[in-house]
C-alpha cells in the first residue's frame, strides 16, 4: 500500500449494477477506484467506476443550493443555504397541495442514482397524499418486475452460476456495460453453457452466440410466440409442472396456435428452421435463463413480451430450480424498502387518482392491487414494490397533467437523480409540462438540461461520499454494504437528508425520524443483531438462506396461487388475459427507415458523464449508425452530420457506418446533451439538438396498452444530410482510447 493511502470497500453507483470496488483515499479524498479484492467480485469494474473520482471532482459539480432568480430557464441563480431553500420549498409545496390537492405534486427519481432514497420519497409522498411518483424504472426493470408478477407473483433473477443456457433478448452486456453480467455470461460460456441472442444488429453478444436470431426491430414478442409454438407442438415443456402448477394452458395453446412458424418468420424476418432450433435448445438444454432485458421494457408489446418470457420460464420447468430462474423473496433480516414506503397510509381515494391508472394500469396501484393479498400470503406483507416499479404513475400521463392537459393539474415537480427531459418519451410534452409548473426542485450533481428549468437545484452527494445499504432493489434477497470513502464537497447532501429536511419543512419531521443515514441503517438491520457500522466493516454480502421450489409450500403470489398463463388480473382490468402481438402501424412513405434508441456507450451512464474529458474523448459527439447500403440510399456519408427526423421531432448526430447494422435500421444514441453548450431555455445545453427523447413518440400507436410505456425499439424516421456542419466545438482528442464497439 502506498504511503498515506487508506482503503474502503464500496459499491459503485456510477451505473445501476453496484460493483464491489475498493477506494483508495489520500488526504481525505478518493484518489483511485479499483476492483474488489474479493475473488467473487474481482474484475467487476468498468471505466465509469474507475473515472469516478475525477468525474465527481469536476469543476461543473454543483456544490451549493441554487435558487432561480430570473425567468424559469433563464440560467440566473443565487446561492442560498439548505435551510433557506427547504423553508421556501416546504411552504410553496404546501401552497400547491392546499390549492390543488396533494396529487398536484409529482416526483421523478431513479433508484441507483439516489441510492440513499430507500423508499423515503414514497413515504413522504404517501403521508402528504400524492400517488404521482414516476421513474426511469418505468422503462427499465421496474416495469418488468411489475409485469412478472402477473404470471407468478415475483420477479425472478437467473442463476448464472449454474445455468446451462442463456437467452439474451437484445440485451448486450459488455466489458464496460453492466460488467458483472458480462462476466457471468462469459464464465457460463467457458463452462460450456449455450448462448442464444436475439438482436437485429450483429452485436458483440450475437458474435459470441451459439444461435443468433437477427430479428426485425420490435418483434421479440412475435419471436417468443414462435418458440412456444414449437415447444408446445413438440411437447418439449414440463408437463408435470404445467398440470400441477399452472392455469390457462389450453387457452394459451389456442392463442399460440395463431402463430404458426411461417407467420412468425414473416413477422420477425428470421428463418423458421433457426427459430425452431433456438426454441428446442431453450427447452431441452435447461435449466435455461432469460435474464431480464430492458429491450422488451421499451416496446409496444412490452406487457405481452414480458409475459411470454415468464410463460416460457414456467412451462419449461425453470422456475425456482438451481440453474434456473430464482424467485428469491425479501431478505428476512432487514426492513425492506416496501415497508419503509408505507403505502398503506395513502388513502385508497388518492391511490385511485394515480395518473395513467385508468387507461394503462399495469404498474400502477390499481393494476397491482390484486397482488396485495397473495403477496401477504406468500411473502408476509401486502406491498412488494420490486425494483420500485410496482406502484408507479405512468410517465406520459404525468407529463400531460403537468402540461395542463388533464385530468387534473400537477403544479409541483421534483426530480432526484433523474434527468426527466431526456429520460422519457416526448420531450416537447415534458418541456411544456415543466414550463407550466409553480415549483420545480432538482436534487442533482450537475446542471443538466432538466435542472436548468428548476426553481431550486440542490447539490447531491455521490456514492464515494455516503455509506449505502443495497438491498438489490428488493429483487434478490442479498444485502450488500458500502462504506463512505470521503466527505461530500461543499454543501452536497444525500437523498436521505433531502427527504428528512423536506419532511421537517412540511412540519412532519416524524415521518423521517432518524437523525442520520447511519441511524436509519441501524434501524433497518436491527434484526441481524448487529449495527450497520459492524456489518459494513465485516460483511461483504448478507445472504438469505437459499431455498428452491418454495412455491411447493406457499403457492405462487397470484390470486389463484398458481402460475397464471392466462392472467386473471389482466382480465379483471379489462385487458386480454393472454399475450398477443400488435403489428407496426401502417407506414408513411416520408419515413422509410426504422430507428431504435440504445446501444449504450462505454464512457457514459445514460444521460450522465458527458462532462468528463476522458469519457468524452471516446465519444466526442452523438453518433447514429447505419450500414453502408442504407446510408447510400439516404444520400449520406460516413462522418458527416445528419438529422434524424420523424413526426415528433428531429435530432442532429454524426453518421458512423457500421456493417453490423441491418438494412434500413438506424441506431440513435440515448441521452445526449453537451455540458459545454449554453444553458437555459432555448438551448438547454444542446438537448434541443441531440436528445433522443425528441424522437420517442408516446401517441397510442407507440404505447404499450397495459403499461402505457413508449415503444422506442422501432420508430419510423428518415435520415437527411445536413449540408453545413453544426459548428459544434471539437471537444478533446478522440484518439485517446479506441472504441470497443
Write out the residues near ligand SF4 by the rule CB under 6 A.
Answer: 12, 14-15, 17-19, 44-46, 48-49, 178-179
User: DSSP string spanning 600-668?
Assistant: --TT--TT--TT-HHHHHH-SS-EEEE-HHHHHHHT--TT-EEEEE-SS-EEEEEEEE-TTSPTTEEEE
Report, in Å, the least distance between residue 386 CB and ligand MGD.
Answer: 16
Q: Does 301 bind ligand MGD (CB under 6 A)?
A: no
Contact partners, residue 691, CB within 8 Å, separation at least 6? 421, 422, 427, 449, 651, 671, 672, 673
Nearer of residues 371 and 520 to ligand MGD, judged by Cβ: 520
Q: Does 355 bind ligand MGD (CB under 6 A)?
A: no
Nearer of residues 177 and 304 to ligand MGD, judged by Cβ: 177
Q: Does 169 bind ligand MGD (CB under 6 A)?
A: yes
Q: Does 325 bind ligand MGD (CB under 6 A)?
A: no
Among 126, 183, 328, 423, interactor with ligand MGD by CB under 6 A:
423
User: DSSP string spanning 517-539?
Assistant: HHHHHHHHHGGGTS-HHHHHHH-
Q: Is 587 exposed, middle or buried (0-12, 13-18, 19+ CB in 10 A)?
A: exposed
* Three-state SS letters, 416-449: ECCCHHHHCCCHHHHHHHHHCCCEEEEEECCCCC
Report, in Å, the least distance between residue 55 CB and ligand SF4.
Answer: 10
For residues 423 and 686, the answer to whether their CB atoms sit within 8 Å is no
For residues 619 and 601, the answer to whether their CB atoms sit within 8 Å is yes
Q: Does 652 bind ligand MGD (CB under 6 A)?
A: no
The C-alpha cell at 679 is: 444553458
Q: Does 140 bind Mo ion (CB under 5 A)?
A: yes
Any idea which residues carry the catalytic annotation? 16
Q: Which does 19 bind (CB under 5 to 8 A by kind): ligand MGD, Mo ion, ligand SF4, none?
A: ligand SF4
Among 49, 55, 121, 200, interactor with ligand MGD by CB under 6 A:
200
The C-alpha cell at 461 is: 452527494
Q: Does 356 bind ligand MGD (CB under 6 A)?
A: no
Q: Does 707 bind ligand MGD (CB under 6 A)?
A: no
Report, in Å, the least distance between residue 321 CB and ligand MGD.
Answer: 25
Q: How far apart are CA 526 and CA 664, in angstroms?
A: 57
Among 12, 306, 615, 696, interactor with ligand MGD by CB under 6 A:
696
- Nearest CA to 670 out of 655, 691, 649 is that of 691
Residues between 265 and 304 with contacts to Mo ion, criterion CB under 5 A:
294
Residue of minimal CB distance from ligand SF4? Answer: 49
SS3 697: coil
Q: Is 244 exposed, middle or buried (0-12, 13-18, 19+ CB in 10 A)?
A: exposed
Nearer of residues 36 and 394 to ligand SF4, judged by Cβ: 36
Report, in Å, the least distance between residue 599 CB and Mo ion.
Answer: 13
Give, in order, the Cα–Cα distances in Å from 343 to each of 102, 325, 337, 416, 474: 15, 28, 11, 20, 16
CB atoms within 10 A of CB 730: 8
The C-alpha cell at 485 is: 470513502
Residues between 259 and 298 with contacts to ligand MGD, criterion CB under 6 A:
293-295
Q: Does 448 bind ligand MGD (CB under 6 A)?
A: yes
Residues between 561 and 600 with contacts to ligand MGD, criterion CB under 6 A:
596-600
Buried b / exposed e across 250-275, counting CB within 10 Å, b at 16+? Answer: eebeebbeebebebbbebbbbebeeb
The C-alpha cell at 67 is: 435558487
Nearer of residues 374 and 389 to Mo ion, judged by Cβ: 389
Q: Does 712 bind Mo ion (CB under 5 A)?
A: no
Q: Which does 179 bind (CB under 5 to 8 A by kind): ligand SF4, ligand MGD, Mo ion, none?
A: ligand SF4
Residues between 202 and 221 with contacts to ligand MGD, criterion CB under 6 A:
203, 215, 217-218, 220
Q: Given the rule CB under 6 A, which residues bind ligand MGD? A: 15-16, 110, 113-114, 136, 139-140, 169-173, 176-178, 198-201, 203, 215, 217-218, 220, 293-295, 416-419, 423-425, 443-446, 448, 460, 462, 495, 596-602, 604-608, 670-671, 692-693, 696, 712-714
Amino acid at each position: 500500500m502506498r504511503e498515506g493511502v487508506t482503503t474502503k470497500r464500496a459499491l459503485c453507483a456510477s451505473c445501476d449494477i453496484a460493483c464491489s470496488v475498493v477506494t483508495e483515499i489520500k488526504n481525505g479524498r478518493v484518489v483511485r477506484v479499483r476492483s474488489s479484492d474479493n475473488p467473487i467480485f474481482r474484475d467487476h469494474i468498468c471505466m465509469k467506476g474507475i473515472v469516478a473520482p475525477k468525474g465527481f471532482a469536476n469543476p461543473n459539480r454543483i456544490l451549493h443550493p441554487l435558487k432561480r432568480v430570473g425567468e424559469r430557464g433563464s440560467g440566473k441563480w443565487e446561492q442560498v443555504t439548505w435551510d433557506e431553500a427547504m423553508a421556501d420549498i416546504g411552504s410553496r409545496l404546501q401552497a400547491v397541495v392546499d390549492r390543488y390537492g396533494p396529487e398536484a405534486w409529482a416526483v421523478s427519481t431513479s433508484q441507483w442514482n439516489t441510492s440513499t432514497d430507500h423508499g423515503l420519497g414514497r413515504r413522504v409522498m404517501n403521508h402528504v397524499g400524492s400517488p404521482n411518483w414516476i421513474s426511469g424504472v418505468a422503462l427499465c426493470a421496474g416495469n418488468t418486475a411489475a409485469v412478472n408478477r402477473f404470471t407468478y407473483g415475483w420477479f425472478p433473477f437467473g442463476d448464472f452460476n449454474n445455468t446451462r443456457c442463456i437467452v439474451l433478448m437484445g440485451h448486450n452486456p459488455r466489458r464496460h456495460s453492466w460488467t458483472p453480467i458480462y462476466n457471468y455470461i462469459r464464465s457460463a460460456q467457458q463452462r460450456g453453457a449455450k448462448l442464444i441472442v436475439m438482436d437485429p444488429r450483429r452485436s458483440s453478444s450475437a458474435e459470441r452466440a451459439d444461435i443468433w436470431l437477427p430479428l426485425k426491430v420490435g418483434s421479440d414478442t412475435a419471436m417468443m410466440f414462435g418458440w412456444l409454438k414449437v415447444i408446445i407442438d413438440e411437447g418439449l415443456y414440463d408437463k408435470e409442472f404445467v398440470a400441477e402448477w399452472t392455469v390457462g394452458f389450453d387457452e394459451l395453446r389456442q392463442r399460440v396456435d395463431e402463430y404458426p412458424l411461417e407467420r412468425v418468420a414473416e413477422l420477425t424476418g428470421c428463418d423458421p428452421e433457426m427459430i425452431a432450433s433456438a426454441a428446442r435448445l431453450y427447452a431441452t438444454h435447461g435449466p435455461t435463463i432469460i435474464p431480464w432485458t430492458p429491450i422488451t421494457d421499451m416496446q409496444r408489446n412490452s406487457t405481452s413480451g414480458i409475459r411470454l418470457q415468464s410463460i416460457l420460464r414456467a412451462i419449461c420447468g425453470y422456475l425456482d430450480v438451481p440453474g434456473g430462474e430464482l424467485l428469491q423473496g425479501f431478505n428476512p433480516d432487514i426492513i425492506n424498502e416496501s415497508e419503509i414506503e408505507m403505502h398503506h397510509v395513502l388513502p385508497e381515494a388518492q391511490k385511485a387518482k394515480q395518473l395513467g391508472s385508468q387507461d394503462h394500469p399495469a404498474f400502477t396501484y390499481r393494476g397491482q392491487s390484486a397482488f396485495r393479498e397473495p403477496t401477504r400470503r406468500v411473502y408476509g406483507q401486502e406491498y412488494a414494490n420490486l425494483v420500485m416499479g410496482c406502484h408507479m404513475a405512468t410517465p406520459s400521463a404525468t407529463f400531460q397533467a403537468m402540461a395542463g392537459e388533464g385530468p387534473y393539474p400537477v403544479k409541483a415537480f421534483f426530480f432526484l437523480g433523474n434527468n426527466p427531459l431526456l429520460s422519457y418519451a416526448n420531450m416537447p410534452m415534458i418541456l411544456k409540462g415543466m414550463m407550466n409548473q409553480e415549483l420545480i426542485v432538482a436534487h442533482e450533481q450537475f446542471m443538466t438540461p432538466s435542472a436548468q428549468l428548476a426553481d431550486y437545484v440542490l447539490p447531491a452527494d455521490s456514492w464515494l461520499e455516503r455509506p449505502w445499504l443495497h438491498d438489490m432493489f428488493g429483487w434478490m434477497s442479498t444485502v450488500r454494504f458500502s462504506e463512505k470513502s470521503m466527505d461530500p464537497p461543499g454543501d452536497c447532501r444525500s437523498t436521505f437528508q433531502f427527504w428528512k429536511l423536506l419532511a421537517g419543512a412540511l412540519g412532519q419531521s416524524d415521518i423521517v425520524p432518524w437523525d442520520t443515514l447511519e441511524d436509519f441503517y441501524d434501524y433497518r438491520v436491527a434484526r441481524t443483531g448487529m449495527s450497520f457500522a459492524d456489518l459494513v466493516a465485516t460483511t461483504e454480502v448478507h445472504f438469505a438462506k437459499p431455498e428452491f421450489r418454495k412455491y411447493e409450500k406457499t403457492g405462487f403470489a397470484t390470486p389463484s396461487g398458481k402460475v397464471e398463463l392466462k392472467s386473471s388480473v389482466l382480465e379483471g382490468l379489462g385487458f386480454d388475459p393472454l399475450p398477443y402481438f400488435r403489428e407496426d402501424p401502417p407506414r408513411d412513405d416520408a419515413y422509410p427507415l426504422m430507428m431504435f434508441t440504445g446501444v449504450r456507450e462505454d464512457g457514459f451512464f445514460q444521460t450522465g458523464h458527458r462532462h468528463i474529458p476522458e469519457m468524452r474523448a471516446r465519444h466526442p459527439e452523438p453518433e447514429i449508425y447505419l450500414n453502408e447500403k442504407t446510408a447510400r440510399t439516404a444520400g449520406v456519408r460516413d462522418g458527416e452530420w445528419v438529422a434524424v427526423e420523424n413526426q415528433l421531432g428531429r435530432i442532429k448526430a454524426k453518421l458512423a457506418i457500421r456493417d453490423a447494422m441491418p438494412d434500413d435500421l438506424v441506431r440513435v444514441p440515448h441521452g445526449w446533451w453537451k455540458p459545454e453548450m449554453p444553458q437555459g431555455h432555448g438551448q438547454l445545453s444542446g438537448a434541443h439538438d441531440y436528445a433522443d427523447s425528441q424522437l420517442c413518440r408516446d401517441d397510442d400507436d407507440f404505447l404499450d396498452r397495459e403499461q402505457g410505456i413508449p415503444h422506442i425499439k422501432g420508430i419510423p424516421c428518415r435520415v437527411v444530410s445536413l449540408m453545413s456542419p453544426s459548428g459544434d466545438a471539437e471537444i478533446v482528442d478522440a484518439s485517446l482510447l479506441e472504441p470497443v464497439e
